[in-house]
Structure 1
Amino acid sequence: MAYQSVTMLTAATRLAFPARGDMRLGMSDAPTHATDILIVGAGIAGASLAAALAPHRQIVMIEAEDRPGVHATGRSAAFWHESYGGVGIQPLSAASYAALAHPPADLSDRPFLTPRAALTIGRREEREAVDAFTGAFAAKGVDVVRLGTAEMREKVPGIRSDWTEAAYEAACSDIDVAALHAAYLRAAKRAGAMLVPRARLVAASRRRGRWHVETGRGEMIADVIVNAAGAWADGVAAACGVEPLAIQPYRRTVLQVRLGVPVPAALPLIVHVGGQFYFKGESEGRIWLSPHDETPSEPCDAAPEEIDVALAIERLQGAVDWPVAAVERKWAGLRSFAPDRLPVFGADPREPAFIWCAGQGGFGIQTSPAISALLAAQLGAPAPGGAIGAVDPRPYAPGRFS
């Protein structure tokens, strides 16, 4: 049913939307009056979709903050890690790799990825969990291999003796999030999209076949609304009279820690198979560290809690014998999940002119090329080819919750 709704919407938008006008406005201090598609939120989800759609449709992005990317996008310790998020996310991550490693010339003249590698580790008693992790992702075609204890200790000097199990992924890479987000915004602007800051969606209703949207800075009119509002996604849906999907924000804490030993900057991403921590090299003798916390939160400007900072250090020191000299920085962001922890993108089954692009957890940046291209195709852009075109979008459609 949901897939049929998306197909019907795509056909309708191709017929109903007017040809692109002369809408080369970029950033604006005054809202536009009418547009084809209004994207709510200009973080990585909204910006990537705007870049994909703007050559084909009139696009306005509205952003509640003074500038885009203030919340989850701007607070990510982002990496491209094919196994991150589970086997349901892996097809989107795998399909996005080429666009991040070798972006098209009109997006960037350099890659967004820097090689790092990753280790998923466990204690002796977690051997079966590491075996299961390795087997599940190897079956999906992920380049993941089991390491012996000696090999693991070479890659993580100072790891404690009860940590004996590891799986290695050579392809894991850091993502230059700021550069990627800026590239999407530039591409959208070049194609004529407009960004309106400080324009929080207050309410919206359908009248005479179009959305009438109150932003607090005047009314906007649009054929279609795309909900790319991150932690605020359910609130935006409710303000539009659309049933929320129970997308829950969770607080995630990250620290920059200076160590008392010379840990290399190229240290792999180290992830506990049981989900208690991850850390990676930042610069010589410094790491980024998270206790992998998921504390339910209201949508907000998230801040770290001292208990989570202490927990992160405790878990680190339970895994390695590195003394902590100082916590130099600490921050928190909100990661938002749908009930089944898969992203949600596509037409709402009850209101086909309301499009979801939400619930992307902590993997929204590494999957942004695939999600934006697949969703843009549902809204009238050409269908993507290659690895992205081979991904079936139906498991991610919002109709699965009906």
Structure 2
Amino acid sequence: MTDVIVIGGGIAGISVAARLSEHASVTLIEAETALGYHASGRSAALFEENYGAPSVVALSRASAADHQPYLSPRGLLLLARAGEDELFLKDAKALQCPEIPLAEASARVPILNDRITRAAYHEGAQDIDTDRMMQDMAKTLRANGGRIRTGAPVTAIARTRTWQVHLTDERLTCDVLINAAGAWADQIANMAGVRPIGLTPCRRSMARIPAPGGQDVSNWPIFFGVGETWYAKPDAGKLLVSPADEDPVDPHDAWADDMVLAEGLDRYAQHVTEPVTRVETTWAGLRSFAPDRTLVLGADPMQPSFFWCAGQGGYGFQTAPAASRLVVDLALGRPPEIDATTVKSLSPARF
């Protein structure tokens, strides 16, 4: 018997489990053989607190102090071409990104071509050391006596006076069940006899290409076109390029779609002077969205001992500190630190 079972070993699950382990006995269950195998292990690893819906921005800003040990400078560069002024102004305003001269943009990313007509830059965007963040959460959980079970898919869930969670080789019981199963969160809800939210997993593809022209890309910002139709980000001396796709799919171990990736690489290539001559590796992850595209955090309205920590979309890492605090506050019956309007906008009761 454990007080709490957390299903899902991505950043959402491990952060809630670590924080809750200071107050209760916690067991975290992950179907894969390692933590952070799916979306969390395939993250763009960027902290940009102005990115997302108002509730996402509120969570990101409330998470900023917790992120400090894991952040390093990156910067964000928004690019537009002729005819894209309206989208450029919309994106720049949303990201609080001041417009800069084209010469400055080219100094930051020397491969930009002469089709770029406008640019905006935000210095506050930073890289997140996602691996160290997850490792620290796992250390905290274990140090507090918590248990982590990987390679343990859930086969059934039943509810009597307590929750019974069946694995292939073990049956666990708990008083509180926290659903942080990412793309599989609705499936876990169905097993538990809880009404699903209506989450939609969406594929996000990625390619790693050599540093363009052999240049040192380490200090380049993440850069992207208006409307978020592609982005490029330095990574370990290479460049990651994504078509920023959001194709709805069933939950699975995602892989990149070659045609979608080719279209994204072409959109990237239309903004730069160096052609894409080689793709070294490709992969994809799943970003899961609730119908209103914001997170789902809190107790299920029909089953108060079943908590949702789902629908992170692409904001899992940047919102995790504040999101986990909110779930723990609600689970312990404490007044949340975050404002009531945001709490309500994140509650499963809104569906």
In which range does the TM-score fall when normalised by the shorter chain? Answer: over 0.9
Equivalent of 1:272 in 225, 229, 236: 225
Q: For residues 305 and 165 of structure 2, what CA distance do their matches in structure 1 show?
A: 13
Q: For residues 36 and 95 of structure 1, what CA distance do their matches in structure 2 show?
A: 27
Match status 1:310 vs 2:262 = yes
Q: Deviations over 1:15-65 (max 9, x none)?
A: xxxxxxxxxxxxxxxxxxx11111001111110001110010111111111
Shift of 1:153: 2.5
List aligned pairs for 1:234-383, cutoff 5 A: 234-258=186-210, 259-284=212-237, 286-380=238-332
Kept in 1: contact 2:27–2:147 (CA 8 A)? yes
Look up the match of 1:399.
Answer: 349
Equivalent of 2:127 in 170, 174, 177: 174
Kept in 2: contact 1:55–1:192 (CA 8 A)? no
Q: Deviations over 1:85-107 (max 9, x none)?
A: 34441111111111111xxxxxx
Look up the match of 1:67.
Answer: 34
Letter in 2 for 1:114: S
Q: 1:283/1:39 Cα in 2 relative to 1: closer, same or farther (>3 Å)?
A: closer
Shift of 1:381: 7.7
Q: 1:48/1:357 Cα in 2 relative to 1: closer, same or farther (>3 Å)?
A: same
Kept in 2: contact 1:38–1:59 (CA 8 A)? yes
Look up the match of 1:11.
Answer: none
Kept in 1: contact 2:31–2:152 (CA 8 A)? yes
Look up the match of 1:96.
Answer: 63
List aligned pairs for 1:6-155, cutoff 5 A: 34-101=1-68, 111-138=69-96, 144-155=97-108
Q: 1:307/1:263 Cα in 2 relative to 1: closer, same or farther (>3 Å)?
A: farther
Letter in 2 for 1:90: V
Q: 1:391/1:44 Cα in 2 relative to 1: closer, same or farther (>3 Å)?
A: farther
Look up the match of 1:195.
Answer: 148
- TM-score w.r.t. the length of structure 1 is 0.83
Look up the match of 1:206.
Answer: 159
Letter in 2 for 1:330: T
Greater alpha carbon shift after TM alignment, 295-304 vs 275-284? 275-284
Kept in 2: contact 1:344–1:359 (CA 8 A)? yes
Q: For residues 48 and 222 of structure 1, what CA distance do their matches in structure 2 show?
A: 19
Kept in 2: contact 1:383–1:389 (CA 8 A)? no
Letter in 2 for 1:41: G
Identity of aligned residues (%): 38
Match status 1:164 vs 2:117 = yes
Letter in 1 for 2:207: L
Q: CA RMSD in A?
A: 1.9
Q: Deviations over 1:279-302 (max 9, x none)?
A: 112244x21110101111111111
Structure 2 runs not aligned, ≥5 long: none
Kept in 1: contact 2:205–2:285 (CA 8 A)? yes
Structure 1 runs not aligned, ≥5 long: 1-33, 102-110, 139-143
Letter in 1 for 2:252: C
Kept in 1: contact 2:82–2:115 (CA 8 A)? yes
Look up the match of 1:223.
Answer: 175
Structure 2 SS opposite 1:324: coil
Q: Deviations over 1:155-208 (max 9, x none)?
A: 22232333222221111111111110111111111111111222222222221x
Kept in 2: contact 1:56–1:381 (CA 8 A)? no
Kept in 1: contact 2:74–2:126 (CA 8 A)? yes
Q: For residues 170 and 58 of structure 1, what CA distance do their matches in structure 2 show?
A: 41
Shift of 1:254: 1.0
Kept in 1: contact 2:11–2:36 (CA 8 A)? yes
Shift of 1:273: 2.1
Shift of 1:379: 1.2
Letter in 2 for 1:398: P
Q: For residues 235 and 276 of structure 2, what CA distance do their matches in structure 1 show?
A: 14
Kept in 1: contact 2:78–2:92 (CA 8 A)? no
Letter in 2 for 1:80: F
Q: Deviations over 1:239-258 (max 9, x none)?
A: 11111111011111111101
Q: 1:389/1:58 Cα in 2 relative to 1: closer, same or farther (>3 Å)?
A: farther
